[in-house]
Amino acid sequence: MCESIYHQEKHGYPREVHGSYGYGPLAAYFAPLPFLPFLLIVISLFQPTTALSTSHQPVFAHSLSRRAPNNSTPLLECLQVSPPVLSPKPCQQTLMVHTFGYSYGLPFVAQYSPPGCDFNRVTINFTVSSAGRQFDRLGHAWFNDTEIFRTSTAEPTANGIIWTYTKDMSNFLSLFKGPQKLIFDLGNIVDDTYTGSWNTTLTADFFTAEDVDPADVIFPVSSHKSGSDQPSQFVVPDVQALSALTLPQNAKKAVFSIAACGQATEEFWWANVLSSDTNAFGNETTLYGYSPFRELQLYIDGTLAGVAWPFPVIFTGGVVPGLWRPIVGIDAFDLREDEIDITPFLPALSDGKEHTFEIRVAGLDNDGNGTAKLSNTIGSNWPVSGKVFVWLDAEGSVTKGTVPTITAPEPAFDVSSSVSKGDNGSVKALDYSVKASRRFSLSSTIETSEGSKVVTWSQDLSFWLTGQLSNAGNDQNTSQSTTGKDISTTNAYSKSYDYPLWVISSYNVLPDTNFTIDAKMGRGKYVQQSGSLAFPSSTETFDYTLLDSEHPTFVGTQTNNWQNGTAHYLGSPALKKSFGSGSTEQLYSLEGITDPTASGVDLYRRHIVAINDSVTYDQEVVGNSMHVSQGVTAAVAQGERTFARVGIKAMLGRGPL
């Protein structure tokens, strides 16, 4: 019995999407979560709890020792659930200690010089604290004109919050080996209402460990503003995101990565409607258009070279902020980049001449009659930047080969929408759906000093969504999923992913200007990967020193990540305050894969529940060691739990401003 419950817990990653829409072949994985207290008892009976060394922060470190400014109440620890990263500390440098108060257009700027120690690996520790009232903010770190980290903030409490995020940066080794201008941009506004500043510390740890095969050279596709001490993102669609680059002639492998996320009218792109329906509820509730589908595209010399269908990141003020405290949304502290293997272009790019690289963001244009095509623009806006990671062949050799054969049939889009009306002719509901699929592949023969070989990159993507808006646009429910498989001959790379998301939300404007928002959501990020391109995989950066035993060599990684929750919000513009409650649950697991036919080896699992700002249950498993805590956070938020957002449209992407 224990075995079966343990098994269910282990494999019970929900893949359900709300409503009657089946979840395809993955539905079999879904099993309801066992009743928590029961689970706890069973596990503590049969899985002895092993206390691990306390030196391994943040694993098992639910410390209440960090004190608020007035030294009486601890700061609330916020977190993004993620696996422990190897980060020994033989050689550390502090890159930034800075408070972002009123910081719009005022990034932190400093000179970086490599440390004197030997290193082939680098991690960063970004630690932030804040107290007061503040929105979620977007932050980016740059080395000269190259974006190296994109993050966002948790919303502070009156008493204060703190978080630490550790990230392996070894893929940027070539940048860390030379002098750089560090530009950290975290635009913030402080006034009578929004009082929170961000106290930040960014440190880097340099060490020697297993090599992750970092690129030899990295070229930015960015707006090149570091000379004027500014960050270099392109803001699309206001500007064209294009750079002309001359690559070395002896490149043997090249990978393009895209950093991109929707902001302002595009923050909730996944909740947008078809352009033909933006006025379905009259002009009081103008909805955002271009559909709830987005595609990031890479064009090399004007030719489509690959695409990415983005993961729907939800920031901590999104939908209902009570969903994201203290556990933030998936990827909120670390907005991941999508990668495209452009090695098949190398024969064309190794001619010593300039070539253009352009990132575009597309949604859908539709005619209202069932036909949709990729749009040339989207709402405002998407900050984007790109990088070309290049691995070099022997000095003096020149890469040759054939021009790539590109197989890119027109993507297929199937959209529909219908409006149902009440007896008096008013619109009761808008139902809409979008389906998309695309295949793309590149292939060429490249000749390097290692000989001649055929290199290919292929992508197979699909997306579906069904949504409904009703009650004059106040209520929305949307279910969607993006699935894809990218395969490359480089490093036997393959990546299969699946991003289900459902959200049910409802707002209600009260006669006294107060308003409420209620929401439920479930979302996941499931990735199975073998090999890696420019960024190391979680099994390459995992902290194996936490395991009791030797680990096998892994060829792949399976990550399951799921969050679901319910939250309520009351905004009181007259009081300039907002109140909220909520509960969120997250299941995360990382497995190492030794061979594709064998089952994975457990490396890290976490099951965590937060209710009303407090972590109430936390089960963490590293290898075979399990630690379970219940009621681990002190009751830091007794009484009112306040949040920053005051406008419905800023939280949901619809409704009054």
Site string for ligand NAG, 583-602 (x = CB under 6 A): xxx-----------------
Indicate the pairing of strand 76-77 with strand 161-168.
Answer: parallel
**Smallest distance from the beta carbon of 254 to ligand NAG, in angstroms?**
18
The reply to whether 572 sits near ligand NAG by the rule CB under 6 A is yes
Q: Which stretch binds ligand NAG (CB under 6 A): 175-183, 375-383, 406-414, 442-450?
A: 175-183
The reply to whether 424 sits near ligand NAG by the rule CB under 6 A is yes
**Is the link from the previous residue into 88 a cis peptide, with omega within 30 of 0?**
no
What stretch of H or E contains 540?
helix 538-541
Phi and psi, residue 41, nearest 5°: -65, -50
**Smallest distance from the beta carbon of 298 to ligand NAG, in angstroms?**
22
| Strand runs labelled E in 1-157 | 76-77, 92-100, 108-112, 121-130, 138-143, 146-152
Residue (33 or 601) nearer to ligand NAG, CB: 33
Residue (379 or 565) nearer to ligand NAG, CB: 565
Contacts of 178 (CB under 8 A, 6+ apart): 114
**Torsion sign across C-alpha atoms 330, 336, 338, 341:** negative
The reply to whether 262 sits near ligand NAG by the rule CB under 6 A is no
Q: Which stretch binds ligand NAG (CB under 6 A): 63-71, 252-260, 327-335, 594-602?
A: 63-71
Which residues 201-230 are close enough to bind ligand NAG by CB under 6 A?
201, 203
Q: Which stretch binds ligand NAG (CB under 6 A): 126-134, 147-155, 216-224, 535-543?
A: 126-134
Residue (131 or 258) nearer to ligand NAG, CB: 131
Contact 345, 254 (CB under 8 A): yes
The reply to whether 398 sits near ligand NAG by the rule CB under 6 A is no
**Two structure tokens written together for 249:** 């002639």
Distance of CA 34 to the CA centre of its chain: 28
**Is the link from the previous residue into 58 a cis peptide, with omega within 30 of 0?**
yes
Name which position in 37, 179, 352, 552 contacts ligand NAG (CB under 6 A).
Answer: 179
Which residues 238-257 are close enough to bind ligand NAG by CB under 6 A?
none
Q: Supply the DSSP symbol for 642.
A: B
The reply to whether 504 sits near ligand NAG by the rule CB under 6 A is yes
Phi and psi, residue 292, nearest 5°: -90, 20
**Smallest distance from the beta carbon of 490 to ligand NAG, in angstroms?**
25
Distance of CA 133 to the CA centre of its chain: 24
Residue (202 or 308) nearer to ligand NAG, CB: 202
The reply to whether 181 sits near ligand NAG by the rule CB under 6 A is yes
Q: Which of 380, 135, 382 is nearest to 265 (CA)?
A: 380
- Measured distance CA(458)–CA(344) in Å, rounded: 11
The reply to whether 581 sits near ligand NAG by the rule CB under 6 A is yes
Residue (307 or 534) nearer to ligand NAG, CB: 534
- Within 13 Å and on the Cβ side, how many CA atoms surround 271? 29
**Smallest distance from the beta carbon of 130 to ligand NAG, in angstroms?**
5
Crossing angle (nearest 10°) for helices 2-11 and 36-46: 120
Binding region for ligand NAG (CB under 6 A): 14, 19, 32-33, 57-58, 68-70, 72-73, 99, 111, 125, 127, 129-131, 144, 158-160, 164, 166, 179-181, 199, 201, 203, 282-283, 367-369, 422, 424, 426, 431, 466, 468, 477, 504, 512-514, 564-566, 570, 572, 574-575, 581, 583-585, 611-612
